[in-house]
Structure 1
């Protein structure tokens, strides 16, 4: 069974004239550029624990296939602000949820927004409030081509 034991949150930003390089630089800023990232949907397994970025990275190696829930946004409209955010919620027992949002930033409290959405999914799925809520977000003003990423990265 392929089931994550741990996960960690990370975010980054990259600036460059080329969209692909901008994305790579955002992944580098988030410290996850060395992995073959595979996007997955929104479920946190029941016994999967959140760890720090540093602890999670210790268990991964360059070139490894790594599953993640990622929000990503790129823009070349200089002066605009863009964002990427991932939030999650876990009940005491049962599976949790991750949500990812990205787009043009207009000043909203991104962390509250994604935490509320993830909490709603737990409450409507399990009929109880989550025991743990968390989030990560990145906002950047566009220069050249700018890419922002936020991710929940799973460790198998």
Structure 2
């Protein structure tokens, strides 16, 4: 389970993903949204869910970039509508929030960890290790053996 952010920009990150990872990102962002929203849902304590805690509008923005890129490549998507249904529920982290309204108004802060180079570099490294033929030309100077850098949930 992972949300791949080789760049601090969600659209640039989505555009660089190979088809396999791009398709999986749609599903994994939906799973993370459910982990942050539905009591007892699996993955709630996974590090990827924790990094998006209190950042559901940003997660939604990332998924929009992923689903938009998926459709631009000619594929059909059902995950976007499912995620919109999920985000209309209160967040477990902040049940009084109205994340969907914040997202629609573009009135939410980016995650504080977004833009930290060690995070994005670790994601580039994992991508190179998963599909060297696709990612090595894109990230020629990144080693393929870095561990993930997992940001903590920060308000």
User: TM-score normalised to the size of structure 1?
Assistant: 0.23
User: TM-score normalised to the size of structure 2?
Assistant: 0.23
Judging by fraction of residues, say which structure has more helix. 2
Judging by fraction of residues, say which structure has more strand. 1
